[in-house]
Amino acid sequence: MINLILFGPPGSGKGTQAAKLVEKYNLLHISTGDLFRYEMGNDTPLGQEAKSYIQKGELVPDSVTIGMLRNKVEANPDVEGYIFDGFPRTVAQAEALDALIEKMGTSISKLILLNVEDDEIVTRLLERGKTSGRSDDQKEDTIRNRINIFKNETSPVFDFYAEQEKAVQVEGLGSIDDIFARLCAEIDVLV
């Protein structure tokens, strides 16, 4: 199995590239944002629990997020691997993810960081904000805050996998096809 973590700040191109990787490698794309929307939209027990935290303005505990991931993974046992997008965000989540997939007899193959300069991310997200309807894509100071949160809180996950010799950086600038080719070069060595 190929199990990838597609990593990078908001606007680095994870969603765009994940769609192309899913098609080429027959992987299941697991986006935590999509999981939350599905579980809450279908009013599942985990969705109700997540909603109760969100309504109080609190972070959803890792146990709830891991539960949602477990449901998605267990519902799709016949795929050739997974692309995790938006997860893990902390070292504790990385450890929980490792434990979850180790129970399936597999492990994370590689974390790939899409490396994009801050100013480019701001430009991309402001452009996306014109059509996405997302308020967090429409103000430069909000976008820069999201980038800083990623750097300060989420970057240790890169170091966690780097210690296992499973983390690489890929240049996230250029055409979609150029970036895709760089990602494929990193993945093809796993096959």
- Check whether 58 has a pLDDT greater than 80: no
What's the pLDDT at 155?
Answer: 85
At 62, the pLDDT band (50, 70, 90 cuts) reads confident
By percentage, how much of the chain surpasses pLDDT 70? Answer: 100
Burial class (CB in 10 A: 0-12, 13-18, 19+), 38: middle
The answer to whether 14 is a known catalytic residue is: yes
At 5, the pLDDT band (50, 70, 90 cuts) reads very high
pLDDT digits (tens, 9 = 90+) for 110-164: 999 999 999 999 999 999 888 887 777 888 988 898 888 888 888 899 999 999 9
Q: Which of 72, 110, 124, 146 is catalytic?
A: 146
User: Judging by DSSP bridges, how do beta strands 110-115 and 2-7 pair with one another?
Assistant: parallel
The answer to whether 89 is a known catalytic residue is: yes
What's the pLDDT at 51?
Answer: 85
Q: According to the per-residue pLDDT averaged within each range, which of 1-15, 52-66, 85-99, 158-172 is highest?
A: 158-172
What's the pLDDT at 59?
Answer: 74
pLDDT digits (tens, 9 = 90+) for 82-113: 999 888 988 999 999 999 999 888 999 999 99
| Overall fold of domain 2-188 | Rossmann fold (3.40.50)
Q: Which of 20, 70, 128, 144 is catalytic?
A: 128
DSSP calls for the chain: -EEEEEE-STTSSHHHHHHHHHHHHT-EEEEHHHHHHHHHHTT-HHHHHHHHHHHTTPPPPHHHHHHHHHHHHHT-TTSSEEEEES---SHHHHHHHHHHHHTTT----EEEEEE--HHHHHHHHHHHHHHH--GGGS-HHHHHHHHHHIIIIIHHHHHHHHTTT-EEEEE--S-HHHHHHHHHHHHHTT-
- Check whether 186 has a pLDDT greater than 90: yes
Q: Across the chain, what does the average pLDDT equal? A: 90
The answer to whether 70 is a known catalytic residue is: no
What's the pLDDT at 12?
Answer: 92
What's the pLDDT at 189?
Answer: 94
- Check whether 61 has a pLDDT greater than 90: no
Q: Which of 14, 72, 110, 182 is catalytic?
A: 14
The answer to whether 134 is a known catalytic residue is: yes
